[in-house]
Amino acid sequence: GQQLNQSPQSMFIQEGEDVSMNCTSSSIFNTWLWYKQEPGEGPVLLIALYKAGELTSNGRLTAQFGITRKDSFLNISASIPSDVGIYFCAGQRGGSNYKLTFGKGTLLTVNP
């Protein structure tokens, strides 16, 4: 089935550092989404991208929809301890295909 390759699997960084993670696919998606999951909670949407090349920010988070529509990245600037969690990318084909395909997640640990 459809797969998204998300990397890295985990990151250990110091507070204040910038973070970058990405997702790639062998197939095209029309929508890319980035979610964050904290312990004991469900994933929460951070950023949604709907157009190839789109660059969108949400506070210290910036995500881009790759030109080829087969990849996306998420950057977090000046990390803080509450950034800790698992970050998931998800792709959606669009049209009549509602399904989300999720990456396996990036576990982020921020050392104060």
Partner 1 sequence: DADVTQTPRNRITKTGKRIMLECSQTKGHDRMYWYRQDPGLGLRLIYYSFDVKDINKGEISDGYSVSRQAQAKFSLSLESAIPNQTALYFCATSEGHDTQYFGPGTRLTVL
User: What is the separation, in whole angstroms, between the first and last Cα of the chain?
Assistant: 40
What mask, x for binding partner 1 by CB under 8 A, covers residues 43 to 82? xxx--x----------------------------------
Helices and strands in the chain: count of H runs, count of E runs? 0, 11
Q: What are phi and psi of 20, to 5 degrees?
A: -135, 135
Q: Between residues 12 and 98, which has the closer beta carbon with respect to partner 1?
A: 98
Q: Counting contacts by CB under 8 A, is residue 102 touching partner 1?
A: yes
Q: How far is the CB of 112 from partner 1 (least distance, A)?
A: 25
What mask, x for binding partner 1 by CB under 8 A, covers residues 7 to 46? --------------------------x-x----xxxxxx-
Q: Give the angle subtended at the CA of 84 by the CAs of 8 and 98, to the nearest 5°.
A: 65
